[in-house]
Chains A and B, each alone.
Chain A
Amino acid sequence: MKDVMGIINLVEPTELLKDLTKHRTLGAVPIGGRYRLIDFALSNLVNAGIRNVGIFVQDQYRALMDHVGTGMEWDLARQRDGLFILPPDSRGENGNHQGDIDILYRHYDYLERSREKTVIMAGTSIICNMDYKRVVAHHQEIDADVTIVYKPDTQSTVRCTVLDVDDKSRVTSIRVNPLHAKTHNISMKMYILKKELLMELLDQCISRGETDFVKDALIKNIDRLKIVGYPFDGYIMNITSLSSYYHASMELLDPSVWQELFFHAGPIHTKVKNESPVHYGHHAKVTNSLIANGCIIEGTVENSILFRGVHVQKGVHVKNSILMQKSDIGKNATLEYVILDKDVIITKGKNLQGDPDYPMVVGKKTVL
């Protein structure tokens, strides 16, 4: 994989996660008790042996930069290559960015300068534990121009890019967010292609005033290029809305999902916080939950995910909820179907109740 570089494309719609993406780009959304969405994309790339990763960001990327730092946690703090964070420059017309083509094109020289001949491009809205070595081997074997990784037969295609794939693996049509889909093959937004080809497509799009990688570079060239689908048979989490974020998170409470997502092709790396192990008090009662380090648990927690440093005081009952970093739940409070963003303080005796299909979200640093 010495000849492959990675691009993480953070030009993704964020408004669907409402409060959770008010202050952060989608890639920086916390997930799974101690991770951010981007950890999966980054770890999958480095676990495949990739040593050069560019992260193309658009807005609200401070939290993301703080999280990835120098890339040390992913072994990407290198003398040569390593991690590059590539922001848009400020000259966008009216301050509006034009889509991913625009941002990729602005860093044309980064692509030019990189020595690798093949590019893996991925987003962060779909997370999985992926062995890219097999995907690249398939791409080379079948001599594809572009490989798109897809998940066959998914239940929902809402807000997905849907592919038609023929029996020779050839992608015959690509539809972005169709209301009615004929097939249930959804694109995992991971693309493998030659760097030369990517640069050619960028140049072509820019010269025609086009802005979107999938709609303009791929769909418009579907007859000219050999676009191939690679079916992924593992577990995926597709974050397209607050509700899907909540339900996907809860699936982590299935130990087989936990095992596959965090260990399958390699470990998922993240920023280290040096928190102490979780302390369970004498009255703690915790079942079917994921608890991250630094928590102090003195109350009852069931079917929930607790991020680092959460304090659950005595008499508290937390059920079917996601509590992010450093939330503090005061005595005798009860929470059900609630998502607390970072640093939320719930004072004693409070009762918060959301709905399974519409969990209540409490914004960052709120005191209730």
Chain B
Amino acid sequence: MFKKECIAMILAGGQGSRLGVLTKRVAKPAVPFGGKYRIIDFPLSNCANSGIDTVGVLTQYQPLALNAYIGIGSPWDLDRKQGGVAVLPPFVRANGGEWYKGTANAVYQNMDFIESYNPDYVIILSGDHIYKMDYAAMLDYHKERQATATIGVIEVSWEETSRFGIMEVDQENLITKFVEKPENAESNLASMGIYIFNWGVLKQYLEADEANPDSSNDFGKNIIPTLLADQAALYAYPFQGYWKDVGTLESLWEANMDLLDENTSLDLHDRKWRIYSVNPTQPPHFLADSSQVVDSLINEGCVVYGQVDHSVLFPGVRIGRGSRIIDSVLMPDTVVGDNVTIAKSIIGSDASIEDNCQIGDIGGGRHAKLTIVGETTHLAKGSLIRPNIE
């Protein structure tokens, strides 16, 4: 029988309702990021760079843009004769079908896919985190310790611990306690939502979890605590480097701004660990005589006549004369007229903003409230948009 040592399952089914208008028509993993990428490029590129060539992407919310984006996976070298990438939506079986009830249930419903590769290990990833990580090194760590499961962990600030699954570990990094979103945490080691399981064990636990009507069928809430209660060998794999959950608009904005920091630990220019993505066909961007661009990321196909300060421009963005873009993210093909000012905002794809508009808290600096303009929005001349995100 055909066999793969380790395959990856990327959880990409989240609605991403906290990303508001940006996820009205696309699932969270397909949201544009960093002037060029979509969020899911990071786990997919990590897989490609880690030598994992079989990846299932579990989707169920607004899958069109995500399916079209992933295609047959060639940008990530995942168009393979054996394995490659497969988009896995929920489906109907002879005895009925249902939506994915939780992260564990999503994997449970696709056991046939996993079994067809007869893997020793399955790595579970999330489709909404920005980071670069070598999963092969994590797998080696898992094998060395003969772990049942290994969980990627990162130290977060103590104020943030209530947003994460928090782990306590002994000197050997063996996990002794796991609490989901604790109010008073006793550790600041947060789960990154990256799990390596021995497939044989995971399969048993998924089946038992499915049989339990009280379970919410979630890795963090059910599978991990049950394994821990059964005294399975659960190890924490400490990760150092840039990692960010971009589940909220504010964190999405922050992650974009992080890229502009000259000392950022997320190096997009690293040729040894490229982040691959679907490349649009666009010429190099043009900065006119009147342009002024500092501390920014700008992609191909843009034309800039105005000022861009500490901002991220996706492909095909046009900035007119006398306009100022400050601390903002402009998604693909947005057209900005003359004498427009945009401060601390995220502007969705294909928006058109006519002359003399004022968007965001101008002069409010980087700690001002964020302003969002949804995709394909048309703003008539002189429109005034105030911050709209609490």
Contact = CB atoms under 8 A, between A and B. Distances in A.
Contacts of B94: none
B287 interface: yes
Contacts of B303: 255, 258
Contacts of A289: 286-287
B268 to A, nearest CB: 4
B299 A33 contact: no
B288 A255 contact: yes
A284 B294 contact: yes
Contact of A34 (B36, B284, B297): B284
Contacts of A253: 286
A290 B283 CA distance: 9
Contacts of A285: 292
A286 interface: yes
B32 to A, nearest CB: 12
Contacts of A288: 287-289
A108 interface: no
Interface size band for A: 35 or more
Contact of B262 (A33, A72, A282, A290): A282
A274 B279 contact: yes
A358 interface: no
A278 B297 contact: yes
B295 A281 contact: yes
Contact of B281 (A33, A268, A278, A287): A268
Nearest to A302: B289
Interface string B281-319: 111111111111111111110010000100011000000
A272 interface: yes
Contacts of A34: 283-284, 300
Contacts of B34: 276-277
B293 A280 contact: yes
A301 B305 CA distance: 15
B296 A280 contact: yes
A88 B292 CA distance: 51
B269 A279 contact: yes
Contacts of B308: 280
A290 B298 contact: no
Nearest to A289: B287
Given A280-B298, A280-B308, 18 more contacts: A32-B283, A33-B283, A33-B284, A34-B300, A72-B74, A267-B282, A268-B283, A276-B34, A277-B268, A278-B285, A278-B299, A279-B296, A280-B294, A280-B295, A284-B295, A287-B287, A288-B289, A294-B269
10 contacts: A33-B283, A258-B286, A276-B297, A277-B313, A279-B268, A280-B294, A285-B292, A290-B284, A291-B284, A296-B269
Interface of A: 32-35, 72, 253, 255, 258, 262, 267-270, 272, 274, 276-294, 296, 305-306, 309
Which 4 A-B residue pairs are closest in the complex by CB-CB distance? Answer: A33-B284, A276-B268, A277-B35, A292-B284
